[in-house]
Structure 1
Amino acid sequence: GKEEKNLGDVLSRVQPEDLIRFGMIPEFVGRLPVLAPLMPLTTEALISILTEPKNALIRQYQHLFNLEGAKLTYTDDALEAVAKKALKRDTGARALRAVMEELMLPLMYVLPDMDNNGAHYVIDAACVETPRPLAELRVKKRESA
């Protein structure tokens, strides 16, 4: 909130002299050529980490489903639920992989045994909160031509 913004403003203006006054020895501070404040990630930032990079986690799982002949979709509220769950762990973006693994591993385990030709699975926020069997996430099966 507002306190975080004020803290961010203060941290962005920290100078080497401030670190020395804080108690760090000048020889150590002299070895830090750049001071860069880090701010906590927001839900929005975590969602963009999940979805935007070329090899984003979401795309990796979609690709794995694609290899089995199935389509995988995440709803926006599912992405938000994953991000919020990761935020609670307070370990930054690393928590995204852990949360996604917990969600996807049981589903990936049974995926090869399913009839996936043209299958479409959708993961929503309810599934992130309370895992469900893969069969319950199927929304449609395309008719074969």
Structure 2
Amino acid sequence: MLRERGLRLTPQRQLILEAVHDLGHATPEQVHTAVRERVAGVNITTVYRTLELLEELGLVNHTHLSHGSPTYHAAGEDQHVHLVCRGCGSIDEVDPTVMQPVTDRLLAERGFRVDVGHVSLFGVCGQCKEL
């Protein structure tokens, strides 16, 4: 896909894309750490720029799972809603149909189409609730 757009598949781009796939859900800082374990010369600016490029190309998606940096995941995955635990920080995924009543109502009442792939619900997971 990069070559089709006249871009090169550099080793850094390849490593960053592989890190996103390997990590599942990762911030640019986490991707940077994973890449630096393999190659020391990749800086955080390169990671941010590459993630932006990969998202423009449709290879990764991002969502906001906290107040900090966006979290990236592979675009080839099925859309899902993120469940973020405020207690332990775990991230779980549920099928987007769980949001269907809300998305249907927003569409009917306001003509608003929800991008379910960017939906994150914050709360407390079952394990933390028991503590």
Could you say which TM-score interval applies, normalised by the shorter chain? under 0.3
The structure with more radius of gyration: 1
Between Structure 1 and Structure 2, the one with more helix by share is: 1
TM-score normalized by the length of structure 1:
0.25
Structure having the larger proportion of residues in strand: 2
